[in-house]
Amino acid sequence: MKKNILNVAILLILIMEFTTALSYEATKPLSKLDEFALNGFDPAIPGYYELGQADKNILKKFGRPNNTTSEIKPDKREPGLQNKYETWNYDGLVVELLTDLGDEKYRITWINKIILTSNKYRLKYGLNIGCKKKDFYKQFGNPDKVSSNSITYEVGIFSIHDDVQFYSNIDVIIEFDGEISKSITWNYDTGRRL
């Protein structure tokens, strides 16, 4: 009987610690890497945190793209749903937007991917195309993945909009020519938490 009470007490302590860790994760200040992953441009994309306004905010920041393409693809999480992928091409910059084509009431446009290949767009912390690999290590520490010509930082962010929790898993991939950065890609995997 004492052993069962002890086991229950330990389980309750673990649950409380886990719950505290989750609430801390949701409220802790963003690190430099978190901020760079969410919106690495300086000045930032205006209204970036406005839910579902990605297309309007990209237009505010970069103007009209040189050209665009779009295609409909199945949703990778929910079979039967379709998403519209729009690719907006600028000089040295590609922005891919994703629109959930499910229920129109909840239709949201997200930034799905940004690929930067030009240093004409200012970034936070003095980083940009043409920076050395050591500059990224100095700002963000060791990356999560390293290959012969790229490094990847993986970031997980939680946010709440209109009482709905959202998560973003963001990969920031920096490709190099030798030790000099030649492209930076932000891959956003965003969705609702049920």
The pLDDT tens digits for 2-19 are 444 433 333 333 333 333
Please state, for a pLDDT cut of 70, what percent of the chain lies above it.
75
Q: pTM of this prediction?
A: 0.79
- Where does the pLDDT of residue 67 fall: very low under 50, low under 70, confident under 90, or very high at 90 and above? very high
pLDDT for 55 equals 87
Give one DSSP letter per residue of 67-97, joined into a string.
EEEEEEEE-SSSTT-EEEEEEEEETTEEEEE
Question: What tokens does 84 get?
Answer: 């519209």
What is the tens place of the pLDDT at every residue in 138-159? Answer: 999 999 999 999 999 999 876 6
Under a CB-based contact definition with an 8 Å cutoff, are residues 133 and 146 in contact?
A: no
Please state, for a pLDDT cut of 90, what percent of the chain lies above it.
52
Cis peptide before 43 (omega within 30 of 0): yes
Neighbouring residues of 134: CB distance < 8 A, sequence distance ≥ 6: 179
What is the tens place of the pLDDT at every residue in 91-114? Answer: 999 999 988 887 777 777 888 999
Angle between helices 133-140 and 32-39 (to 10 degrees): 120
Mean pLDDT across the stretch 62-89? Answer: 92
- Where does the pLDDT of residue 188 fall: very low under 50, low under 70, confident under 90, or very high at 90 and above? confident
